[in-house]
Amino acid sequence: MEQPTYYHSVMLEREKCKGCTTCLKHCPTEAIRVYGGSAHIIKERCIDCGACIQRCPYHAKVAVTDPLSKILDYKIKVALPAPTLYGQFKGLKDIGRLLDALIAIGFDDVYEVARGAEYVSREIAGRVAHRKVHNGMPLISSACPAIVRLIQVRFPELLDNVVDVISPMEAAALAARKRVCRNMSADPADVGIFFLTPCPAKMTEVRAPQAIKTSNVDGVISIMEVYGKLNAELKHARHFENLQHAGAYGVGWAQTGGEMLAVGVENSLAVDGIENVIQVLESIENGDLADLDYFEGLACVGGCLGGPLTFENTYVAKNRLRKLTERLPKISAPEGEERELSPEEMHTQMLFQPNPAMKLDDDFAVALRKMEQIERVLADLPGLDCGSCGSPSCRALAEDVVLGHAVELDCIFKLKQKIQQMSKQMVDIAEMTRK
């Protein structure tokens, strides 16, 4: 039986939703509508940026991740901590203690995603040095899955510029499974690889990979879920095992500009915050950044440290991460392990494909007619973009009307006009009757 398509990992808890329209005003792909007193997510448009999770005043938007108990499905459990995890704990001076705490809460081994980031950084540096794309546009990072999906939905012409290197998470998972199977003589099927994530986009990257056939990750667990358990273990944890190997460059990927620094491309730009990234992508599309070599875009303000599934304040976490990286060498990757990840394995297996979720119709002529209809409807709307109709903007409402998902009277101003007209007609009829 064919499995249903997995679209996104941001879900609505309907009983908590008050229909306030806060979420739809901040969705970068207009994936949310409000009708019947509740929000609704257009599954094809959601990119898991988490903006609605962070802004919903009623906490009605939640991220779907795997429970920690899922690790019990495997004989050997391997944790892949995102470097973001390191900045969540007050007073942490030794990353190794935190990694030992992961063993204490049930994992058998730990492999740092920061190590994977070091391998990925080298591959990207090679891509930039020998650029294959010569269309007057910079190469674009593929590290943030929300940004990649944003490009698929809103900027498909830029997909050829997205760098064809697997994510640090996938690189770490691949290397971790090889190491465990080698050192423990384990059957690969008995090994469960679990990523500790700061955001829901990574869950979707694993469940519905875009550039590889099958993810090397078996489960995605929220940092929020493990925070309490790890914090309790840290009170008496000691650095028993030599689990910490990544250097400052790999750990630095957790924050804005960390990838750019690790890759070592001087003529590059790092931008965080989904709206800011959109502005830069528009500039790239328009040819305004033709002299740029590399662009690092991150959906969350502060980078992954600002992810919706983190515990600590972004800027507090950033300061902690800075102190931790000051004690580390810039790069730390043993020769033997570096050879385990060949250039072929670091390469994406497929090209990123456009997501026509915002396309009006597959038939160009029909789409053109619908566009003309949208412009006519839009011309008759107030242009206030208030969101009271349940659509994020007047243009979005016009589109919904043409596509049959709404009616013009959903606009409260149009409804008011209609009511006034009907009232006047009733008054006129009453006067005529008296005569």
- pLDDT in the model for residue 104: 94
Q: For the whole prediction, is pTM greater than 0.85?
A: yes
The better pLDDT of the pair 228, 327 is held by: 228
pLDDT band per the 50, 70, 90 thresholds, residue 335: very low
- Judge whether 285 and 155 are in contact, CB under 8 Å: yes
Q: List pLDDT tens digits, range 351-377.
A: 899 998 888 888 889 999 999 999 999
Inform me whether the pLDDT recorded for 427 exceeds 90.
no
Structural domains in the chain, CATH included, are: 1-63 (3.30.70.20), 68-346 (no CATH), 359-435 (no CATH)
- pLDDT in the model for residue 401: 94
- pLDDT in the model for residue 250: 95
Backbone angles phi, psi at 76, to 5 degrees: -120, 125
DSSP 300: S
Task: Report the C-alpha gap between 169 and 152 in whole angstroms.
Answer: 21
Task: Report the C-alpha gap between 38 and 302 in whole angstroms.
Answer: 31
**Averaged over 167-177, what is the pLDDT?**
96
Chain-wide mean pLDDT for the chain?
A: 92
Burial letters 46-78, b for 16+ CB under 10 A, else e: bbbbbbbbeebeeebbbbbbbebebbeebebbb
Q: Which two tokens stand for residue 311?
A: 């515990």
Phi-psi region of 6 (alpha: psi -120 to 50; beta: other; left: phi over 0): beta
- Judge whether 224 and 199 are in contact, CB under 8 Å: no
Q: List pLDDT tens digits, range 126-167.
A: 999 887 555 678 999 999 999 999 999 999 999 999 999 999
What is the DSSP annotation of 86-140? Answer: GGGSTT---HHHHHHHHHHTT-SEE--HHHHHHHHHHHHHHHHHT----SS--EE
Inform me whether the pLDDT recorded for 7 exceeds 90.
yes
- pLDDT in the model for residue 133: 53
